[in-house]
Chain A
């Protein structure tokens, strides 16, 4: 943790102000990410940030790395091409919950299955902010959205369980109320060799908060504080007690061969044995 880390060199301050609303949690997630990068002291020339479409996906434009703002739901396959073509690059994907679990859900499970060395940070605010507060696969059951005016009939995903089941080898969840913990989770995820996923629970006061009468941005953070529970504590509690809680911590930390490492081995194998006709 580097509380005093100077993250300004990683920012394109000339692109400020950001498009994000006052009270939005996206800046807190980006801040945690940049402090993690500062701790790791990675060469910014070797860092690639790929994003999808939506409020949080505008993050890439404000970051002073190799950055790519792609199509809705598709940042992972773009990132897969970058990582496979040049495994020396540190590839990070930033996308919202709609990008990741709705339109990009297929790409998400396949990147996890492949265990390619990419870190995926999901800005999970439970809504489509850019288009004005529509329902996402992460909108809570019975919660309001402009496309769920009577309350959402669906049940949301658990991003961490989804990632784990699909084969991601590092899975963690943090909240914007606890940015220092979020930072250390992201640091661990970045260091991990394989596909790592951070479910960063964040607040959208403008749409989700307003439509669900959650009060001010500070009230939304207080709500997070009141609902958060660590994975360790949750383990000893019955299911009904934790069902409306945000369980945080590291859910998965596995070792399984990373995809580009396997590809390098394939190249070595083809160089020496009977790969050739």
Chain B
């Protein structure tokens, strides 16, 4: 550790992680509860030669990030609910054009303007399916300030490695919470930067995938002149409506995310080894879930916590492994049950699944989860 422990907000840790990962371009639009990320970067980026720009809306913000990324910059934007809705259009463009970018959504309560300063986890499914068309997406969700830092670095690494947008799905609790953290020093965490083609290649094909299914797209201005489009395209980057080209690209975009799951299937287990009741939670809610599990243990109930860190692609095999040994599963989230539906899909209709849902705009209290654990302990 090169820096002593300091008190830091989640949004601030996100900025620190982004700069650690090499962020050099940020375009954004103010929106609660993500605004601190833009404010801090407006100050920090010009100091280190980076660029910050406040755009006219969130559509433009993600567009500017994608443009900057195509010149080789590491880019990020940050927003919340309504702004995340506006970003869905260009999120699809980034997927299709395989442009690395990190999109931070500090979730607030919706729908619509909702409750801007109230915590929620209502965008879990929007993060997965929000942009139109069939696609895969990587979504990571931190539950502490320290983890916000490391996950931001990982989000950049994955975006660069797989040439894809990565969504960091925070929530208002984690974004605005202050905790003491010691940030890793330079070199302590790996930092990945995208590959670029060697100079002077003959017959360079910008969208020809390497063995990992990822193309080596040159930065604009580096010498290769090629075409980038949101239309289905061939390896040469030009539009194609041939069924074989469309299927090949569609499958490749799916597989490059799916086939690398081992790299980013992050989760944490707490007291799960002998657990009879597994609580599945994520983000800020996982803090309450941990407290609830500890209370249950003190009452003699063998409870454990499975904390999701990667939400999408959904870590099915890990969920199956941990939950199949338990008598009952309790899912806790600040929405009407978006992840619990996934749990039901993975564990089957016969599994004993208890849902804790919460949409009053307050933090999900440990007591509410504990009650459900107790209920499961008695009934199952």
- List residues of A whose CB falls within 8 A of some B CB: 15, 44-46, 48, 50, 60-61, 64-71, 74, 76-86, 88-89, 106-107, 110, 263, 266-267, 270, 275-276
Q: Are B64 and A81 in contact (CB under 8 A)?
A: yes
The 3 closest A-B pairs by CB, nearest first: A81-B67, A81-B64, A77-B60
Give chain B interface residues in 55-76, CB to chain A under 8 Å.
55-57, 59-61, 63-73, 75
Give chain B interface residues in 108-144, CB to chain A under 8 Å.
none
- The verdict on B47 contacting chain A, using a C-beta distance below 8 Å, is yes
A172 to chain B, nearest CB (A): 24
B253 to chain A, nearest CB (A): 17
B27, B56, B227, B230: the one within 8 Å of A81 (CB): B27
With CB as the reference atom, state the residue of chain B lying closest to A106: B56
How far apart are the CA atoms of A267 and B376 in the complex, in Å? 60
> Given A48-B220, A80-B60, A106-B57, are A68 and B70 neighbors across the interface (CB < 8 Å)?
yes
* Residue from B25, B57, B68, B239 whose CB has the most chain A CB atoms within 10 Å: B68
Q: Are A82 and B67 in contact (CB under 8 A)?
A: yes
- List residues of B whose CB falls within 8 A of some A CB: 24-25, 27, 43, 46-47, 49, 51, 53, 55-57, 59-61, 63-73, 75, 89-90, 93, 220-223, 225-231, 238-239
> Given A45-B223, A84-B53, are A270 and B47 neighbors across the interface (CB < 8 Å)?
yes
Q: Are A86 and B220 in contact (CB under 8 A)?
A: yes
> Given A50-B67, A270-B46, are A86 and B221 neighbors across the interface (CB < 8 Å)?
yes
With CB as the reference atom, state the residue of chain B lying closest to A82: B67
Additional pairs, 16, CB under 8 Å, beyond known A45-B223, A77-B64, A85-B73: A45-B225, A61-B239, A64-B225, A66-B225, A67-B225, A67-B226, A67-B227, A80-B63, A80-B67, A81-B63, A82-B67, A82-B71, A84-B53, A85-B72, A86-B72, A276-B47
Q: Are A69 and B63 in contact (CB under 8 A)?
A: no
> Given A80-B64, A85-B25, A89-B220, are A68 and B53 neighbors across the interface (CB < 8 Å)?
no
How far apart are the CA atoms of A61 and B64 in the complex, in Å? 20
Interface of A is mostly: helix
Inter-chain contacts of B43 with A (CB < 8 A): 275
> Given A81-B66, A110-B55, A270-B46, are A70 and B25 neighbors across the interface (CB < 8 Å)?
no
How far apart are the CA atoms of A85 and B225 in the complex, in Å? 18
16 contacts between A and B (CB under 8 A): A48-B220, A67-B227, A74-B89, A80-B53, A80-B55, A81-B70, A81-B71, A82-B67, A82-B70, A84-B51, A84-B53, A85-B24, A85-B51, A86-B72, A89-B71, A110-B60
With CB as the reference atom, state the residue of chain A lying closest to B49: A267
Q: Are B67 and A79 in contact (CB under 8 A)?
A: yes
B116 to chain A, nearest CB (A): 22
B196 to chain A, nearest CB (A): 14
B185 to chain A, nearest CB (A): 19
Q: Are B68 and A81 in contact (CB under 8 A)?
A: yes
Inter-chain contacts of A66 with B (CB < 8 A): 220-221, 225-226
Q: Are B25 and A81 in contact (CB under 8 A)?
A: yes
Q: Are B238 and A84 in contact (CB under 8 A)?
A: no
* Residue from A48, A81, A82, A276 whose CB has the most chain B CB atoms within 10 Å: A81
Inter-chain contacts of B27 with A (CB < 8 A): 77, 80-81
How far apart are the CA atoms of A265 and B333 in the complex, in Å? 48
How far apart are the CA atoms of A267 and B24 in the complex, in Å? 13
> Given A60-B227, A67-B225, are A110 and B56 neighbors across the interface (CB < 8 Å)?
yes
How far apart are the CA atoms of A60 and B229 in the complex, in Å? 10
Q: Are B230 and A70 in contact (CB under 8 A)?
A: yes
How far apart are the CA atoms of A64 and B239 in the complex, in Å? 15
Q: Are A65 and B63 in contact (CB under 8 A)?
A: no
A14 to chain B, nearest CB (A): 9
Inter-chain contacts of B71 with A (CB < 8 A): 81-82, 85-86, 89
Inter-chain contacts of A44 with B (CB < 8 A): 225
Q: Are B63 and A71 in contact (CB under 8 A)?
A: yes
Inter-chain contacts of B220 with A (CB < 8 A): 48, 66, 68, 82, 86, 89
How far apart are the CA atoms of A124 and B242 in the complex, in Å? 31
With CB as the reference atom, state the residue of chain B lying closest to A109: B56
Inter-chain contacts of A84 with B (CB < 8 A): 25, 51, 53, 64, 68
How far apart are the CA atoms of A46 and B238 in the complex, in Å? 20
Q: Are B46 and A65 in contact (CB under 8 A)?
A: no
Q: Are B47 and A78 in contact (CB under 8 A)?
A: no
Inter-chain contacts of B238 with A (CB < 8 A): 15, 61
Q: Are A267 and B46 in contact (CB under 8 A)?
A: yes
Inter-chain contacts of B231 with A (CB < 8 A): 69
B375 to chain A, nearest CB (A): 49
Inter-chain contacts of B75 with A (CB < 8 A): 81
B332 to chain A, nearest CB (A): 38
* Residue from A45, A71, A107, A266 whose CB has the most chain B CB atoms within 10 Å: A71
